[in-house]
Amino acid sequence: MSLIFRRLARNNPRNIVTDAQILIISSRKLSLVPSLYDGDQDPAPKFFSSNVQILLKRLTRPDFNKVFRKRTNHGFSVLKTPSYKFLTNEELEEEIAKANEKADRLLQMPPVVKIQQHIEDVLSNDPALIGYDTAKYIFTDITFGVANEHRIIIERDPDGTLRSCDHDVRKRLNQAYFPLNGRKLREPLMFADIEKLNSLLDREKYEFVLDRACVQYEPDEPSYQRVTSITYQHVDSKSKYELLRSTRHFGPMTFYLTWHKSMDNLMLELIQGGAVREAVLLSALRQDIHGDVANGDVARTLAQQILPTPVQLTKPETLTEEDIQLDSKCVECIEKYITGTSSMKSQQELALQGFREYYQQLIDLSRGLKKAHGKQ
């Protein structure tokens, strides 16, 4: 949170009042304060709404070379020999469709939900059992086929109270009876020790941290939200978004930044990288979540036009007239966003100006080429 404050302070000269306090925070070594989804508002309905899901998936900018990259040797000391097939056009299309499905599975985003509430459910109180034993008794229903979250786990305290267990006990017992692959009974040191986590983050092992957090924790656990929040803030402060693009964690990160209204650094990165269409999508996302964007409806309608176009993995070399039309609309939309909503006005304006100049050159080049080829 300190980071968010700092950026606000840097770009909004109006916030002079809090300047002195903020200086104290920012003068410390980069220490990130985790912010959990623990407010009154539940992020789940927004996150799972189809609009937001589509926008987040598009903003992930999936590059199949990265999605299907080699991660491990799959337990083999030597990689398996590749296989080859002769395919007709139709068969190839089928295979590509299958690969797209697989990519969807690989890019499925970890859910963003509200933090869990304590379970305080006293089933019965039997004072007759006081002093029967000094230990707690825990009863677990290990019937096959019951989901972990619906499993009945109750405890009998020494004072005779019979009640449902809290989440931490439930997790331990579920893991003891039905172990999940990769999940440890005790919290791994990389999450428990903040020094170790910071060292990993400084080495930019963001994907590793987030992947392991997904295995170790449930999405509504405070620890999960703490770890992911710190990681997202670290990525944001270093502007290393490229490391998480084409992974399943980019969507939740964008959602996190937008939810806390600190996505202007990401917006800046998008404009600097020339991805104006994605910048419009980001402002449309903010409109969907908060509804506080200047001319947000324009951004939304523009997003509907952008979504059918193919994902731009690299900067285009030539442009069609439709592209030029769409991009100029996007630039206008972003301009309004910057003047109306942004908290990093000067930098984003500068970046947009740079993009305009570059784009004008590109337009001249592609129109000149068209003329040279004699097409109208």
User: Which spans of this chain sit near another protein (rule: CB under 8 A)?
Assistant: 64, 68-74, 78-92, 95-96, 98-99, 102, 106, 186
Q: Are 281 and 55 in contact (CB under 8 A)?
A: yes
Q: Are 280 and 303 in contact (CB under 8 A)?
A: yes
Q: Which residue from 109, 107, 111 is spatially nearest to 224, judged by alpha carbons?
A: 111
In the complex, what is the shortest distance from the CB of residue 291 to another protein, in angstroms, rounded to a whole number?
A: 39
In the complex, what is the shortest distance from the CB of residue 72 to another protein, in angstroms, rounded to a whole number?
A: 8
In the complex, what is the shortest distance from the CB of residue 105 to another protein, in angstroms, rounded to a whole number?
A: 10
Which is closer to another protein, CB of 101 or CB of 159?
101
Q: What are phi and psi of 252, to 5 degrees?
A: -60, -35
Q: Spell out the residues 6+ positions from residue 152 whose beta carbon is closer than 8 angstroms to its own.
A: 139, 140, 141
In the complex, what is the shortest distance from the CB of residue 176 to another protein, in angstroms, rounded to a whole number?
A: 14
> How many Cα atoms occupy the beta-carbon half-sphere of 299 within 13 Å?
29
Packing angle, helices 345-373 and 2-11, rounded to 10: 70
Q: Are 59 and 65 in contact (CB under 8 A)?
A: no
**CA distance to 47, 63, 97, 137, per residue, from 245 (Å):** 18, 8, 22, 48
Which is closer to another protein, CB of 98 or CB of 240?
98
Type of residue numbered 41: Q
Distance between CA atoms of residues 184 and 172, nearest Å: 9
In the complex, what is the shortest distance from the CB of residue 89 to another protein, in angstroms, rounded to a whole number?
A: 5
Which is closer to another protein, CB of 150 or CB of 186?
186
CA-based diameter of the chain, in Å? 98
> How many Cα atoms occupy the beta-carbon half-sphere of 195 within 13 Å?
0
In the complex, what is the shortest distance from the CB of residue 183 to another protein, in angstroms, rounded to a whole number?
A: 14
In the complex, what is the shortest distance from the CB of residue 266 to another protein, in angstroms, rounded to a whole number?
A: 28
Which is closer to another protein, CB of 88 or CB of 117?
88
Type of residue numbered 304: Q
Q: What are phi and psi of 209, to 5 degrees?
A: -60, -45
In the complex, what is the shortest distance from the CB of residue 248 to another protein, in angstroms, rounded to a whole number?
A: 14
Which is closer to another protein, CB of 184 or CB of 238?
184
Which is closer to another protein, CB of 84 or CB of 144?
84
Distance between CA atoms of residues 341 and 279, nearest Å: 13
Which is closer to another protein, CB of 99 or CB of 142?
99
Which is closer to another protein, CB of 99 or CB of 176?
99
